[in-house]
Structures are given as C-alpha cells and as structure tokens.
Amino acid sequence: MKPEKPGTGSPELDALLGGGLERRVITQIYGEPASGKSTLCLMAAVECLKAGKSVVFIDTEGFSVDRFSQIAGEQAEELAEHLYLFEPVDFEQQGLMIAESEGLLRAGREYPVDLIVMDSATALYRTEFEAGKEAVRKLSHYMVKLLGLAKKYDVPVLITNQIYMDIDRSRVMGLGGTALAHISKAIVRLEKTDSVRRAVLQKHRWRPEGLSFEFVLTEDGIKGV
C-alpha cells in the first residue's frame, strides 16, 4: 500500500480529515450551492497534479476552466495535461464514464492517477430523483463501482453532494439518502453564512464529529480564517 495521504491543497481541510484524503475510501463534501464544494475539488486536483500525478475528474455540473486556472496558477496549462476530465451529460453516461475511467487507472503510466474526483455525484441523479427507487439503486451502484476502483488502485475518491430540504424532518439533508452517506467513510459539511463559511466534520472513522474550521473563498481557493 502507498503510505501517504494525498493532500487537499487546504492545510485546514487536511487537518480536519486527519492528514489528507484517505486512500481506498470515498470522502464526501456536501453543502448548498456556492458553499465551496467545487473549489475544494479543484484544489485537491491541483495538489495532486503538482505532485506529479494524474487526476480523473468527473464533472456533472460544468467544469470551469477559468476557476481551474485561478487555482492552478501559472502552471495551469502544464498541469491540465494530466487532468482527465469526463463530462457526462446524463445519469446513464455518468455510470459509463466511471467504468471508462478504469482504463486510466491501470498501472504502467508515467503519471499514475492518484485521485478520482466526482463533482457532483448527484447533479444528474437529481433529474431522475423523482423517478424513485430505480435512480437510488443506480446511484448506489455507481458508488460501489467507484469504491471498487479506489480499493483496486489504492487511490482516494472525493465526491461532492447537493442538499435538499427533508420536509418530514424539517432539516437539510444530503441527496442520495442513507446509501450515499453510508458508503462515504468521511463526510464534510459546508455551511454558508453571510461572510464566512464553515467546514464541519460530520463523519470520520477515527476523528470526532463536529470538528470544524472557518474559511473564505479567494482567487486561489479557500483560506482558513
């Protein structure tokens, strides 16, 4: 097994997660729109690329080249060469692209893939959400497939998730229900207030839940305050 945990590009988030992104598991970041989920995904990707590795990046929400360039800085063009971007347009394609990405994970590359990002896991699912059980089943299947890749290739998986209002319990929940929560071994919730945002550890295998830090969004990513 590879020893070190890949960093997220944010020292605060690394500390919250106990040293970075754990290999062989799914780490989930969820929160409302504009809370900083995609920024964190790009930061983690850039960190991995800067370490001389490749990244599989599955984007269901519209990848922003401009935001990538801001976060990657001067080396953006060079780093982008090893960013393998998948942009599924529907929920079906999302599953196909997860499967397809395995070709890139296989050994023998000069710049081995050391991170899989899926931002977000549930944007396309959302359109089928109303369809009910079948969509839930499919989403679970995708997650199991991703987890399988994480284990087989000893890499971390970072996914983001959107929220919805659970009317019955009158509170905000992550999409994908308990299945998505269960399969994610680390979960970070992003909260957005007027000026600062807060990242809260909601689930972790060996760190207490409730740990948190405050941050602001800047040109080159998130910054702890």
Ligand X SMILES: Nc1ncnc2c1ncn2[C@@H]1O[C@H](COP(=O)(O)OP(=O)(O)O)[C@@H](O)[C@H]1O
Task: Give the dihedral sign, CA 143/213/15/107.
Answer: positive
Q: Name which position in 8, 27, 35, 54 contacts ligand X (CB under 6 A).
A: 35
The residue with tokens 């079906």 is 92
Beta strands in 74-134 (DSSP E): 83-86, 113-119
CB of 61 to Mg ion, least distance (A): 5
Q: Under the criterion CB under 6 A, does residue 196 sit at the interface with ligand X?
A: no
Kindly state whether residue 218 participates in binding ligand X, applying the rule CB under 6 A.
yes
Nearer to ligand X, 33 or 148 (CB): 33
Sort residue 13 into left (φ over 0), alpha (ψ -120 to 50) or beta. Answer: alpha
Per the document, the length of the chain is 225
User: Listing from the earlier edge strand, what are the strands of the sheet with 113-119?
Assistant: 83-86, 54-59, 113-119, 157-161, 26-31, 184-192, 197-203, 212-218, 221-224
Q: Tokens 């905000």 correspond to what residue?
A: 172
Asked if 122 is part of the footprint of Mg ion (rule: CB under 5 A), the reply reads: no
- Could you tell me which stretch among 13-21, 34-42, 79-87, 95-103 binds ligand X (CB under 6 A)? 34-42
38 binds Mg ion (CB under 5 A): yes
Give, as ranges, the residues between 125 and 164 that touch ligand X (CB under 6 A). none
Helix axes 91-100, 133-153, angle to 10 degrees: 20
Q: Does the protein bind Mg ion through residue 202 (CB under 5 A)?
A: no
| Least distance to ligand X, CB of residue 38, Å | 3
Partner interacting with residue 70 (select from Mg ion, ligand X, none; CB below 5-8 Å by kind): ligand X
* Residues 38-77 as x/- pattern, contact with ligand X by CB under 6 A: xx---------------------------x--x-------
Output 8 or 38, the one with its CB closest to Mg ion. 38
Q: What is the DSSP string of 61-76?
A: S---HHHHHHHHGGGH
Chain residues binding ligand X by CB under 6 A are 31, 33-39, 67, 70, 217-219
**Which residues here bind Mg ion, judged by CB under 5 A?**
37-38
